[in-house]
Chains A and B, each alone.
Chain A
């Protein structure tokens, strides 16, 4: 700034009274509507259930980064709930879709928060650990599937969980919050890999308990699931880079816990 202003700097607050955890309700409604819209678009067939998953999975993390952990989880859950009702062709077990969406928003929103909420990411990490234990445990211990097929078939889940628990979580959050558009895109891909992976992990665990797919499916999933997950990452990156660059350019009030 060429010359410091004479007046005292004021704290700017969102005063509309219609905000959830620092995110205007209008933002939550709009983003939930986007989730509903994308719920109609099938992204790929899922080997295990024979059904498809919606493109909205790719933006669950983005919504968490825009709105923060609570508002992001709320927008995702509301959008996913309406989505499974209006577009049942892209869901397998509705509860799994909604809970996965909720976890995705929370996990993404918790990645970049400091202060009193700096450890909130551990909640998402713990849910992920429990879900993986239940998921792989049922396969190996209860259904007698070999460890290797389970590890290969759940590559996207454990890799996402690992990346989320390690400092790569903070690295991705830092890139998403930075000004460099290239790093933003890489951060979005990395972040979408880990957060959408957690969503997938929780949803898959629930679906596995509900449908209990046969052992050969694990091996069949091994080469396909990473490709599907990479597509989620690419879609999340393409949409996320445009949305975040646009939000920065138009300069709307940022939700209190936004990561961008």
Chain B
């Protein structure tokens, strides 16, 4: 078989899950060449995961249902060959590394599938070091998988798939649960496998900037249809098409698309940072920088310190010092973003506000009172904590019961429970769903159920811990819009996230943490432009910020711009119109 032969052919593939009346994949026809990197993008529910599962035969052989058309991988029809045979040609890596690892050591994890295929011991021993080297995990053979970081676990899952020496590696949102460091590790390994070893890759991901950089072609799925296939330049430059399907383009593409809309002489919309910087330089002689329109002043905030930590130090029982004597004040009504790499101490810090952790040294003050003098139930009334996965906080059989649960347990009178529950349901737009099972709702709505349950307690502070992890763009925006709504209602909001590009429209103040210390505490326009400092804690500044800084360098000034729209609006081509802000 030559390199130009397709490794994968989908011919009019449609699929319906059992008891479903509508196909989740509709008439998909697509070919992938050997050695190609195909990016799969689409909103939640587009059929990306189903398509990934089709490639190794799990759909339809495991799920049943109705399958139409033909899917062929390495010459094998996925309906006619068992999954065990297809698995030798298609390696699969899924979203959550925790659910893929089952063995007690790294080398056993890799050996597991090979042993199941009755491969000789010598061959297994030969393959283990090779695949560990390929994913840069050499030296971890005897470690328990749980000792590895998130990125290392996902790389171990890739190694286990590689050990089968597949023709095709399918990765379904492999970085969505990882911090920026872990995501970068996984992308680096996948890129190396593709470019240096010629491995064919199919990767579903919402990471637009990375997909634009690494993929040879992008396939856009929406509502089960293959809407478009093309190079990253062809797909990501069609910003209107992406927005129509609730997808986010890379920020450079978004910026240049807006510039084009503003009448700037842009011929091709770049989708990667380096070409975008070159395109900007090409505009330099014809265009001028105009002042940033006056931003509305944020409403005056109370000066009352609602949350304070003084010289807070926390040492976990295993001796890890997670916080090194930090001090911080948060005023009533602020919207604060806390960022930093995994292990920076973000969650450790906010857990002190709830007395879920006790200070080793220092003090934590909530509303003027030391938390050591406040029971956890009192803190739970005043501070609502929305964990990363809303499903972890749902356990009642109706939405209404879920929202009322804490109130009943705190022995509020029945009429007050009813009133508060109804108010919280109404605020979150859940009144009509009050009798439904919470887990039967879409994920965005499940997050609203958890938030409604917290709102019913009428807390002064809401803490969202990684609310956007695992969400697509639309889902992430939905949750953040709720946080803004609550902020406008006068609540103090604290959000922890790695996704800096999502936050300019929401946060006012940014606290950057690294290795248990506060590296920076500044307004968002100032904080996002501390590029080197952000990178020192493995955070990627949004591309719009990098473009703004590049433009600012033309005239040796700082342009405190944050979004693609602001960057697009700061350039005007033609007669000089204004001064640098």
- Cβ contact within 8 Å between B82 and A15: yes
Complex interface bits, A1-27 against B, C-beta within 8 A gives 1, otherwise 0: 111011111111111110000000000
Distance between A12 CB and nearest chain B CB, rounded to angstroms: 5
- Cβ contact within 8 Å between A251 and B69: no
A15–B60 alpha-carbon span in the complex (Å): 11
Complex interface bits, B48-84 against A, C-beta within 8 A gives 1, otherwise 0: 0000000001001111111111100000000111111
- Cβ contact within 8 Å between B60 and A12: yes
A138 is an interface residue with CB less than 8 A from chain B: no
Smallest CB gap from B23: residue in A: A5
Distance between A3 CB and nearest chain B CB, rounded to angstroms: 8
The stretch from B6-14, B307-315, B459-467 touching chain A is: B6-14
Other-chain contact of B64, A3, A5, A16, A254 (Cβ < 8 Å): A254
B22 is an interface residue with CB less than 8 A from chain A: yes
A6–B64 alpha-carbon span in the complex (Å): 19
A12–B58 alpha-carbon span in the complex (Å): 11
A contacts with B: majority SS: loop
- Cβ contact within 8 Å between B17 and A251: yes
- Cβ contact within 8 Å between A2 and B83: no
- Cβ contact within 8 Å between A7 and B69: yes
Other-chain contact of B65, A1, A5, A11, A12 (Cβ < 8 Å): A12
A17–B22 alpha-carbon span in the complex (Å): 30
A238 is an interface residue with CB less than 8 A from chain B: no
- Cβ contact within 8 Å between B68 and A9: yes
Q: Which of A1-59 contact B (CB under 8 A)?
A: 1-3, 5-17
A252–B84 alpha-carbon span in the complex (Å): 17
Distance between B567 CB and nearest chain A CB, rounded to angstroms: 42
Other-chain contact of A1, B11, B17, B21 (Cβ < 8 Å): B21
Other-chain contact of A10, B20, B23, B68 (Cβ < 8 Å): B68
B19 is an interface residue with CB less than 8 A from chain A: yes
A253 is an interface residue with CB less than 8 A from chain B: yes
Smallest CB gap from B65: residue in A: A251
B418 is an interface residue with CB less than 8 A from chain A: no
Distance between A83 CB and nearest chain B CB, rounded to angstroms: 27
A42–B238 alpha-carbon span in the complex (Å): 67
Task: Categorize the interface residue count of chain A.
Answer: 20 to 34
- Cβ contact within 8 Å between A6 and B12: yes
B298 is an interface residue with CB less than 8 A from chain A: no
B248 partner residues in chain A, CB cutoff 8 A: none
B420 is an interface residue with CB less than 8 A from chain A: no
A14–B82 alpha-carbon span in the complex (Å): 8
B254 partner residues in chain A, CB cutoff 8 A: none
Other-chain contact of B14, A7, A15, A17, A253 (Cβ < 8 Å): A7
- Cβ contact within 8 Å between A12 and B61: yes
Smallest CB gap from A16: residue in B: B82
A248 is an interface residue with CB less than 8 A from chain B: yes
A9–B67 alpha-carbon span in the complex (Å): 6
Contact status of A15 and B83, CB under 8 A, knowing A7-B27, A252-B64, A254-B64: yes
B487 is an interface residue with CB less than 8 A from chain A: no
B413 is an interface residue with CB less than 8 A from chain A: no
Distance between A181 CB and nearest chain B CB, rounded to angstroms: 13
Distance between B116 CB and nearest chain A CB, rounded to angstroms: 11
A14–B57 alpha-carbon span in the complex (Å): 11
B26 is an interface residue with CB less than 8 A from chain A: yes
A251–B61 alpha-carbon span in the complex (Å): 11
Distance between A252 CB and nearest chain B CB, rounded to angstroms: 7
A8–B67 alpha-carbon span in the complex (Å): 8
Distance between B235 CB and nearest chain A CB, rounded to angstroms: 24
Smallest CB gap from B67: residue in A: A10
B61 partner residues in chain A, CB cutoff 8 A: 12-16, 253
A252 partner residues in chain B, CB cutoff 8 A: 62-64
A2 partner residues in chain B, CB cutoff 8 A: 22
B18 is an interface residue with CB less than 8 A from chain A: yes
A11 partner residues in chain B, CB cutoff 8 A: 79
Complex interface bits, B1-42 against A, C-beta within 8 A gives 1, otherwise 0: 000000000011110111111110011000000000000000
Interface-central residue, B17, B18, B64, B69, by most chain A CB under 10 Å? B18
A248–B14 alpha-carbon span in the complex (Å): 21
- Cβ contact within 8 Å between B69 and A6: yes
A10 partner residues in chain B, CB cutoff 8 A: 60, 67-70, 79
Distance between B511 CB and nearest chain A CB, rounded to angstroms: 42
Smallest CB gap from B61: residue in A: A15
Interface-central residue, A1, A5, A12, A248, by most chain B CB under 10 Å? A5
A3 partner residues in chain B, CB cutoff 8 A: 26
Smallest CB gap from B59: residue in A: A12
- Cβ contact within 8 Å between B60 and A7: no
Interface-central residue, A7, A13, A17, A251, by most chain B CB under 10 Å? A7
Distance between A4 CB and nearest chain B CB, rounded to angstroms: 9
Distance between B20 CB and nearest chain A CB, rounded to angstroms: 8
Distance between A186 CB and nearest chain B CB, rounded to angstroms: 21
Complex interface bits, A221-260 against B, C-beta within 8 A gives 1, otherwise 0: 0000000000000000000000000001001111000000
Other-chain contact of A8, B17, B68, B83 (Cβ < 8 Å): B68
Distance between A8 CB and nearest chain B CB, rounded to angstroms: 6
B11 partner residues in chain A, CB cutoff 8 A: 7
Smallest CB gap from B11: residue in A: A7
- Cβ contact within 8 Å between B12 and A5: yes
A39–B26 alpha-carbon span in the complex (Å): 47
Distance between B50 CB and nearest chain A CB, rounded to angstroms: 12
A17–B67 alpha-carbon span in the complex (Å): 20
A residues lining the B interface (CB < 8 Å):
1-3, 5-17, 248, 251-254
A-B contact pairs, 6 of them (CB 8 A): A1-B22, A7-B13, A10-B79, A13-B61, A16-B82, A251-B17
If A1-B21, A15-B57 are given as contacts, then 20 extra A-B residue pairs at C-beta distance below 8 Å, sorted by A number, are A5-B12, A5-B23, A5-B69, A6-B12, A6-B27, A8-B69, A9-B66, A9-B67, A10-B68, A10-B69, A10-B79, A12-B61, A12-B64, A12-B65, A15-B80, A17-B82, A251-B17, A251-B18, A252-B63, A254-B18
Closest 4 CB pairs of A and B: A7-B69, A7-B12, A5-B14, A15-B82
